[in-house]
Amino acid sequence: MHREMDRVIAEALELPPEERRHVAERLLESMPEDDVKRAWLDEAELRKERWDAGLVVGVEGDDVIRGLRDRARS
């Protein structure tokens, strides 16, 4: 089963970004809601642990928006 899964993943990674996004959305939609909630809770806990450990730094919201706008223009 791992070979088939590895093959599918490898093929998906060769898709253009928009198609990869669509595949990711479809896979996420296929997951039971409880699994999705658990995954987000796990991610939030991991981010908090990294923050508490000083492994990440905060970025001002205005700086984030400015950066996104700059990227969208280029």
**Sorting pLDDT into bands at 50, 70 and 90, what band is 9?**
very high
Q: Where are the alpha helices (DSSP H) in 16-73?
A: 17-30, 33-52, 61-73
What's this model's pTM, rounded to 2 decimal places? Answer: 0.52
- Alpha carbon distance 32, 4 (integer Å): 22
* pLDDT tens-place string over residues 15-58: 999 999 999 999 989 989 999 899 999 999 999 999 999 999 89
What are the domain boundaries of the chain?
A: 1-30, 33-74
Distances (CA, A) of 6 to 9, 10, 23, 29, 55: 5, 6, 15, 21, 31
* pLDDT tens-place string over residues 35-46: 989 999 999 999
Q: Contact 36/28 with Cβ under 8 angstroms?
A: yes
